[in-house]
Structure formats: C-alpha cells, structure tokens
Amino acid sequence: VQPPALDVKAAYREALGLQLENSSAKAEDLYRKIIASDPNHTDALNNLGVIVMAGGDRQEAIGLFNKVIALKPDSADAHYNLACIYANLEDSKSALEHLEKAVVINPELHKWASRDRDLQNLWALPKFKKIISRG
C-alpha cells in the first residue's frame, strides 16, 4: 500500500510556519519531504538552504541555492543568500556578483544589504557601495 501523497502546498505552509517559529529541525525535515515529493519546489529549496546555511553546512546551502537559480534564474532570494555565504567565505568577487544580481531583480534588497551583518566585510568595498546606491 502506497502512503498518501504529500499535500505539498499544505506541507510548505506548515514548514514555513515552523521555520518562522525557529523550529528549524522540524522545518528542515518537512522541506526535505517536500523536495522529495517535488524536486523543483524552489521555495522549499531556498528555505532549506537558509536553514542548512544557519546550521553551518555552507556547501549544501550553496548547492541548494544554485539549484534554485538553475530552475528560477530570477530568484533574488537565492542570489542574495549566495552573496551572504560567499561574503562569509571571504570570496568578495562571487559575493558581489550575486548581490548585484539580487538587487537588479529586487531593488528593495539594497536596504537589507547595507545592514546585513553577513555582508559586513563587503561594506567598505567601492563595488558594494555602487550596488546599494542603485536602489
């Protein structure tokens, strides 16, 4: 007997609620079930990336965000999240490339970038200042 199919929409709403309540382990488990059921669910892939990034698994997070971008090139969130990871890895070239793409897609992100501690090692760079001045 097959288990009932996962109601992806309901599961996503539940996972997002858990994530917002800081129940990261439960949210991660549910996002993984959603992705197993729908491997191209870009919101679940992105949010799982945020959780694993916060947990310290930058390589898995990079893979998840790159998959989101492969499926949905205009994902400002995935580009922004990659900018944060690369900034923390002190790869300012990659960080600035992704930040620039994110801000072009969603100009509102320039407000976040100037306050986001994940990007603080970029703040003094001329290219960073140029990117956030566009918003």
pLDDT in tens, 66-76: 999 999 999 99
Please say if the pLDDT value at position 135 is more than 80: no
| 4: confidence class by pLDDT, cuts 50, 70, 90 | low
| pLDDT exceeds cutoff 80 at 63 | yes
Q: Which residue has the tokens 């992704």?
A: 98
Give the model's pLDDT for residue 115.
Answer: 94
Tokens 């986001």: give the residue: 116
Q: Please tell me the number of Cα atoms within 13 Å of 28 on its side-chain side.
A: 15
DSSP structural state of residue 123: T
Token digits for 114?
């100037």
Question: Token match 């801000």: residue?
Answer: 103
pLDDT > 80? residue 119:
yes
Distance CA 5, CA 27 (A): 19
CB 103 within 8 A of CB 128: no
Packed helices 8-20 and 24-37: angle between N→C axes, nearest 10 degrees: 160
Instruction: Enter the pTM of the model.
Output: 0.92
Q: Where residue 2 falls among pLDDT bands split at 50, 70, 90? A: low
- pLDDT tens, residue by residue, 36-62: 999 999 999 999 999 999 999 999 999
DSSP state at residue 76: H
